[in-house]
Amino acid sequence: MSSNGTSQATEQSKVELRNVSKGYGDAWEREEVISNLTLDINPGELTAIVGPSGCGKSSLVNLIAGFERPDSGEILLDGKPITGPGQDRMVVFQESALIPWQTAYQNVVFGPQLRGDMSRSELREEANRLLETVGLAEFKDKYPLQLSGGMQRRAELARALINQPKLMIMDEPFRGLDAMSRELMQEFFLKIFDETRRTQLFVTSEIEEAILLADRVVVLSNKPATVRTIIDIGLERPRDFHMMGSSEAYDYKRQAMEILHEEALKSFKTTGAQADFVDAYSRRNE
């Protein structure tokens, strides 16, 4: 923020993954989960990641966040190698990470307050602005257990944004919410993205969510994960749920689902389990 308390223009950063591979386990029983994956996360864009269950999406999040290191290849943020966690990348996980004995406001200001990199007045003004943006101004003095699941998600968004990261990483953040809360969160998230145009990586298992939110949808292969295809989403911004009924959105969904079904089949052994799956899939429209 500037000295007068107004937000500066959001810095738009680029992430590059170059021939990244990652595996787990000892040499004699090692399992490769990511193989030779190359991907650009473009500045100011929202890139969504989808893929078959268990394909390595969470491992990819951990690598970009710096929680783990790749076995080979490199990950760059604005041309500099990512070697560990940093304030320049903030992650919102599937599970709530709010501090239970702190209010929503206290959770939001915790990071900058600990670092001392904002004045008290700037911190208060920015925290209140973000809580207003995510619809929690009236609930800022409530503790996490007094908030609904959707409200907790919104508080975590505000807590991440106040750190002004170069990259926001969302790891299935709306998973587990009821349908109405999920739609509300998507609306808040779209509003925040349109305001900031902060570079975003959004991991989701919901194809329609990816299409609604993203500029590009990256479809991963079955484990070990690599990039199968990238779908450029041409829906105009600002977006709303009515767009999902368009023929254009349907075509995007069909394209992604065809690839995902193809990759899901690979995870089945060539036994009766695969035969049952193929038979059920072939009869899905009967």
The ranges assigned to domains in the chain are 15-88+165-282, 98-164
Higher pLDDT, 281 or 124: 124
pLDDT at 95: 80
pLDDT band at residue 39 under the 50/70/90 scheme? very high
pLDDT at 11: 67
Q: Tell me which H or E stretch contains 283.
A: none
CA–CA separation, 40 vs 36, rounded Å?
14
Tens digit of each residue's pLDDT (9 = 90 or more) over 178-194: 888 889 889 889 988 99
Rounded to two decimals, the pTM is 0.86
Tens digit of each residue's pLDDT (9 = 90 or more) over 127-147: 999 999 888 999 999 999 999
pLDDT band at residue 175 under the 50/70/90 scheme? confident
Nearest Cα neighbor of 210 from 272, 149, 253 is: 253
**Residue 234 near residue 208, CB atoms below 8 Å:** no
Task: Please report, as a single letter, which amino acid is at residue 246.
Answer: S
**Residue 217 near residue 256, CB atoms below 8 Å:** yes
The average confidence (pLDDT) of the chain is 88
Tens digit of each residue's pLDDT (9 = 90 or more) over 238-272: 999 999 999 999 999 999 999 999 988 877 653 34
CATH topology classification for 15-88+165-282: Rossmann fold (3.40.50)
Place of tokens 């500045």: 43
Nearest Cα neighbor of 64 from 32, 10, 20 is: 20
pLDDT at 268: 65
Over residues 268-285, mean pLDDT = 51
Q: Tell me which H or E stretch contains 199.
A: strand 199-203
CA–CA separation, 223 vs 274, rounded Å?
17
Over residues 45-54, mean pLDDT = 94
pLDDT at 279: 54
pLDDT band at residue 117 under the 50/70/90 scheme? confident
